[in-house]
Amino acid sequence: MARPRAELPPAEALRALVDDEGRLAVRVTPGAKGEGLLIAEHRLHAKVRAKPEDGKANEAVRALIAAALGLAPSQVNLLRGATSREKLFRVG
């Protein structure tokens, strides 16, 4: 059975959360049943199926953000929070 597509917010809404230095704060839920990005209370929340082991969840979040913004995954870099649910990415 094919996996359903991840739910992604509009790119404009996501870009509004990026600060002047190109940073984006994300709250991550690894090991979720589904994948997607959600904007709630002016914060980005990411749900990924990947488990938080060997950086798999970080890579999944990176790929989701890149897809939502129409960027290559190499243009989204993790700055802080490799082992935390609270992460900071640089985009662009």
Write the CB contacts of 88 (distance below 8 Å, at least 6 apart in sequence). Answer: 23, 24, 25, 26, 78, 79, 80, 81
CATH number for the domain that contains residue 53? 3.30.1200.10
- In this prediction the pTM is 0.91
> Mean pLDDT across the chain, nearest whole number?
94
Query: What is the domain extent for residue 66?
Result: 11-91
CA nearest to 27, candidates 9, 12, 42, 7? 42
Q: What is the pLDDT of residues 13-61, one digit of tens each?
A: 999 999 999 999 999 999 999 999 999 999 999 999 999 999 999 999 9
Please give the backbone phi and psi of residue 78, each rounded to the nearest 5 degrees, phi first.
-80, 120
Q: How many domains does the chain have?
A: 1
Place 7 in a pLDDT band, splitting at 50, 70 and 90. confident
The two three-digit tokens of residue 70, written as one number: 């129409």
Beta-sheet strand order (sheet of 43-47): 36-40, 43-47, 23-29, 86-91, 76-80
Residue 58 domain flag:
yes
Answer for the pair 45, 26: CB distance below 8 angstroms, yes or no. Answer: yes
Residue 2 domain flag:
no
What pLDDT was estimated at residue 5?
Answer: 72
